[in-house]
Structure 1
Amino acid sequence: MHRRTALTAGVSLLTIAAGCTSDGDTQSSDPDGTDDGEPESESGDEQELTLETFEYPESVDQDGFRRNLASVHEDRLAAAGSFQVVKTFERSETFTTEEEITITGDGDDLLLETGDEHLTTTAWTDSANDGTDVLVRNSNGVDERYLIGNRSQMAEDVDGSDTLGALIDAAMFKASELVERDGTSVVVFEAVDVIDVTALEGARSNSHMARYDELEASIVVSEAGVVGYRYELEGEGFDGPAVVTESATFDDVGETTLDEPDWVDEAEERALELSIEPAADGESFTVTVDQGEPIPAGA
């Protein structure tokens, strides 16, 4: 049975704490159909929060997003000075790979944490080194290894703006539902028309497929800005049918503080720093240990 190949936009809600606001009954009538004249509230001018009355943030309205929403989101996080992003990624093809990353930013300080039951990776960079060098700590629960890397290798799309821009290029969105998230009213926007699903290839290399069949996507906003997104891609991978799912939430914007991890001093002493240069034959590379224990012969 062949998978359908027409691109469609479906309903896909970002997981949000339950508690939807309801339009409810806005009118009360006598049996004869006349109004009793009683005010609906003591003030008489209290406005019910709906998709129509919600105060949408910059570059957002009920009918969708302006093209600059990704840059507005990036500027908002930069201006706030601090934030926390929690991302999840899953790809199912011949086997399933899963990843969860927590990224906390506070000015030039950045902490990334990811891992599974076998290995935990933590990366740290701060203003002391202009945010360019990154200390990486790998722990398997028994031993710790340290490495000095570059911030460009720290993670793809740290603040989520690349993926957000790719989603807006990939599909048209429309306000779908008003809900509560941690006591804050937010609006869920659903993809209603797919434009160019291949736009997502540029945001995350793992999302590449040989053919794309279906996209479901949602973006969630508060009155302050974007608070999350989620998408699911179905198609034909390079080894069979594939499904890619990614989600992100943006929390504690402007309210996050970071302290230097207690392992930084040890990492600076033990971290392995490598230089990789093309060899004279032009076909191989020479690896030089600039800091740390020598690489064993034959490794």
Structure 2
Amino acid sequence: MPLRDQKIGFLGGGAMAEALIAGLLRSGLVEPASVYASDISAARQEYLEQKFGIKTADNSSVVSAADIVVLAVKPQAISGLLEEIAPAARPELTVVSVVAGISTDFIEGFFKTPVPVVRVMPNTPCLVGEGASALSPGKFCSQPNMDKALAILKASGQAVVVDESMMDCVTGLSGSAPAYMYLIMEGFIDGAVRLGLSRDVARVLTAQTMLGSAKMVLETGEHPAKLKDMVTTPGGTTIAGLYALEEGALRSVLMKAVAEAALRSSQLAPGKNSKT
């Protein structure tokens, strides 16, 4: 087990850190006593302590105590954080970064010794154990380092390894796509409400339909187009709806959304336009 006897520290205690902590503890991969966290807000630290029974401390103390450190702050805060913890960094540490738009090279540049760094792009469904995460190794990263990072992310959903050059694309896709999905769901719900269905019923039917459709893609391994055709009978209701979606250029709009979000991700590194 990659996480056996490992102490894991989270620098930044926001929603994503909370989701990953919850996944780790829910899976039983680590005990609360092996998890540490820090946050700029004392109230947030107290919340994490009370909810999970973990330990909290300042950034440097967390790094000194941990075998694995998860960087979970906003991109604007990463430079200051890395400067602060650099003296405590050491080669046997595994650094896992979930900070959007920040490369492994950038993080490695703050450390005086070679420190293994894994870059990760998770998403908010990690909060319910259904996250989609992509990981990329830095130049000092070994397979055991990757195994540790993969174990952390797989405790909250599915995780895949990609080349770091694809990380901005991943950010525009799975990192941002929950918002796209919610917008699409909202449209379906409002469409049903317009026709007289209650909002609560429309919400359940829409959410379960999206969940079931995603599960079919994952479990059958079939291309979405093939699964779409299975639902689409000649002259039927589904093809009428698909025609309306094609008239609205839905696929083209979604492709543009991924591209725009990926572009924004590439601009998040310190020294570039860092407005979020």
Provide TM-score, normalisation by structure 2: 0.26
- Structure with greater contact order relative to length (CA < 8 Å, sep ≥ 6): 1
The structure with the largest alpha-carbon Rg is 1
Q: Greater helix percent: which structure?
A: 2
Q: Greater strand percent: which structure?
A: 1
